[in-house]
Amino acid sequence: MKGWFIIYFLILMHTDTDAQNLHFKTYTTKDGLCQNSPYSIAQSQDGFMWFGTQNGLNRFDSKTFKRISFKSRDKKFRPSEMITSLYVDSKGMFWVGTVSEVFLFDHKSDSIFLISQKFPFYKAPSNLWTYKIKENAEGQIIIYQADKIQIIDKLKEKAFVFDSSTFGSDIVDMDVSYDKRSIYVATTKQVFVMNEPNKWNPVIESKYIFTSGIRAIGSVHNEIWIITTDNKIRIWDTKNRNLKTFNEIYPAIKLPTDPVKVHQSKDKSIWLGTRTQGIVKIDPLLKKGTIAGASPDLNGLQKNFILSFYTNTQGIT
């Protein structure tokens, strides 16, 4: 299996099918990357890979990086170059989020547009950091910006905004289920799900009490992986409706001390990204895991801080 990993200061390619012997190739600004901290990754329908960094957007054709210079017909519209979220939806529309706005990008002409130019019913908030952009099975676009969840319903031509007052606590993360049928929103103490239009329900039953706050969530198979501020992982089974610790399900895997990201690839492998210990690849069937930490080896992981994961149409993660 091959895979791409984006971490602090590095882009890494896993090229070994042996789970016990992970090998990587490193790319940096010396290879044409705008900046060495890519926050987000996407793939356009023509196969190009895209990397959003603190200093602009890169296109990658598997050999060379191209830095994108945005072209705007509106002289007043000059978005931030700090790209924090990228998403290409099912219709091929390219969404770009920055530290202050979300806009649409025509990657064939490098032109950018305000969302309202395409969807006049949408009134975009300004000066909000964009954390995630997702899409559900109905083609709705879900945008998570600083304590706001926005849902753009392109078919019904409506937009909905939910904030901390909706959930009773500050929003800390958002994700869409692996089958894209459900939207999940995490607050500091609870996870909510939207299965019906504009109706949010708590996911975790009241008998399960978190002694610490929630940091992040990730949808994996039929589970919600919940990373808490005490660096633990709780796993909620959405079918059987029970909550277990990571160690209960994966007793043979040593949990890293500071997990921050959860990702599922198309081969059903689970990837954990950390701040100081690199990557943990988990086989959910065998209940085994492999840790890839920073190494002086040229074929090893060069840095430990993982910023993002992405699986493309070829199954490369």
More confident residue, 193 or 26: 193
Q: Given 3-state DSSP classes, what are the helix, strand and coil percentages for the chain, each rounded to the nearest 5? A: 5, 45, 50
- 151 within some domain: yes
Q: Tokens standing for 233?
A: 């992982």
Is position 235 within any domain? Answer: no
pLDDT at 21: 57
pLDDT score of 294: 65
pLDDT in tens, 143-181: 999 989 999 999 999 999 999 999 999 999 999 998 999
pLDDT at 206 (0 to 100) = 67
Higher-scoring residue by pLDDT: 143, 5: 143
pLDDT over 50 at 116, yes or no: yes
pTM value? Answer: 0.90
> Which two tokens mark 120?
């006049």
Per-residue pLDDT, averaged over 218-239, amounts to 94
Does residue 189 lie in a domain region?
A: no
214, 188, 222, 192: which is closest to 205 by C-alpha? 192
Structure token digits, residue 129:
């950091």
Model pLDDT, residue 268: 86
Determine the structural domain holding residue 122 and report its residue range: 32-163
**Could you tell me which residues are beta bridge partners of residue 242?**
237
Residue 43 within a domain: yes
Q: How far apart are CA 240 and CA 92, in angstroms?
A: 36
Query: Above pLDDT 70, what percent of the chain?
Result: 89
% pLDDT > 90, the chain: 64
- Is 21 in contact with 14 (CB distance < 8 Å)? no
How confident is the model over 33-65, as pLDDT tens digits?
Answer: 999 888 999 999 999 999 999 999 999 998 999
Distance between CA atoms of 270 and 251, rounded to whole angstroms?
15
Q: Which amino acid is at 2?
A: K
Domain assignment present for residue 83? The answer is: yes
Q: What is the pLDDT of residue 211?
A: 75
State how many domains the chain has: 1
With b for 16 or more beta-carbon neighbours within 10 A and e for fewer, the 172-209 pattern comes to: bbbbbbeebebbbbbbbbbbbbbeeeeebeebbeeeee
Tokens of 107: 């990657």
Average pLDDT, the chain: 87
Q: Supply the CATH number for residue 63's domain.
A: 2.130.10.10
What are the DSSP calls for 131-177, one per residue?
EEEEE-TT--EEEEETTEEEEEETTTTEEEEEEHHHHTS-EEEEEE-
What is the per-residue DSSP string for 173-205? Answer: EEEE-TTSS-EEEEESS-EEEEEETTEEEE-S-
In a domain, 94, yes or no: yes
Mean pLDDT lowest for which of 184-198, 246-260, 287-301? 287-301
Please tell me whether residue 259 adopts helix, strand or coil conformation. strand
Model confidence at 90, pLDDT cuts 50, 70, 90, reads: very high
pLDDT in tens, 269-313: 999 999 888 888 899 999 998 887 766 766 666 667 888 888 888
Please report whether residue 234 resides in a domain: no
Other C-beta atoms lying within 10 Å of the C-beta of residue 49: 19
Asked whether residue 123 is assigned to any structural domain, the reply reads: yes
Which range is least confidently modeled, 10-24, 53-67, 249-263?
10-24
Nearest to 91 by CA among 155, 149, 36: 155
Helix (H, G, I), strand (E, B) or coil at 29: helix
Band the pLDDT of 260: cuts 50, 70, 90: very high
